[in-house]
Structure 1
Amino acid sequence: MKRDEFLHLFGFGATLLVSGCLGGCGSKTDNPQPGSGSTPAPAPGTIDFTIDVVAPANARLNDPAFGYVYGAGNRVIVAKTAGGSYVALAAACTHQGTTVEFQSGPNNFFCPNHGSRFSTSGAALNGPAVAPLRVYTLVQTGNMLRITG
């Protein structure tokens, strides 16, 4: 192969590599895709678990500084609201799938990745997330919470 042929092919290959990377080499933070997180909300009918609210493993649920625990392999967040009731929502932020946290002071869910906030009914309060968090059915019987959906 002659030098000018090599340089032409090398230049063409480098151009393809660079142009391809410009469109698809960004991180999730650089190239947000709604719903593209690593922890998608579970499909309907796949959640069914119980939490004993007085068990030592769930002490954070009743701690005023925290007020929440995760269940179903961290796919669901269960929180104790300011009114004293419990709610269960999908733990994955609807923007990029980052696991949300419950903030007992403002009584809402917060995504630490980009700052989205959600109400205790799942509604997006501020973005970048616009879709609500999925709400699961929660039934309390004594000290037991059954979460389904």
Structure 2
Amino acid sequence: MERKAFLRSLGAGAAFALVFPCVQGCSSDSDGEPGQEVPTGIDFTVDLSGPDGLSLENNGDFIIRNDVVVARNLQGEFVAASRICSHEQNAGVSFVEIQGGIFECEVHGSRFDQNGAPLNSITQNPLKIFNTDLQGDLLRVFE
């Protein structure tokens, strides 16, 4: 049976079910585009007494500011890393509550420990980590 005949025999519903996930997964937006630059010159403050504080209230919570993932790790300490993955420079890194709390890129699955070291074989390049300093309700994130 030829491809066209096979697809016609499936019907429109089955063809849509097969094609739609690929179209969704293959769509591009600014967050998924490779080649973005890792942030440099980072030095900003997060006011934990404001809305950002509510978003960082619980262990495992994170926010994204200036292409930096700022997280309260599972031990309650603040950690920060580049949102731009070291694999192909996609803006897909977030903090996930697995393996004691790690940084993970949703684009290709790269995983990094809280010091930026790669945890799987997708990349050998470390993730850029930023310093944090908590003074009262002000959390400074800097290089």
Which is greater in Rg?
A: 1
1:89 Cα deviation after fit: 1.0
Alignment partners' CA distance in 2, 1:101 and 1:78: 9
Alignment match, 1:78: 70
Alignment match, 1:61: 56
Instruction: Indicate conservation of the 8 Å contact 1:61/1:67, yes or no.
Output: yes
Say if 2:94 is the partner of 1:97: no
Alignment match, 1:88: 80
TM-score (norm 2): 0.68
Residue identity matched to 2:115: S
Question: Gapped runs of 5+ residues in structure 1?
Answer: 1-28, 30-35
RMSD over aligned Cα atoms: 2.0
Alignment partners' CA distance in 2, 1:130 and 1:42: 19
Percent identity, aligned pairs only, is: 31
Q: In the superposition, relative to structure 1, how do residues 52 and 104 fare at CA in structure 2: closer, same or farther (>3 Å)? A: farther
Query: SS at 1:124's partner residue?
Result: coil
1:83 Cα deviation after fit: 1.1
Residue identity matched to 2:36: T
Instruction: Indicate conservation of the 8 Å contact 1:115/1:127, yes or no.
Output: no
Correspondence list, 1:20-59, <5 A = 37-43=34-40, 46-59=41-54
Residue identity matched to 1:124: P
Which aligned segments of 4 or more residues in structure 1 are displaced greater than 6 angstroms? Answer: none
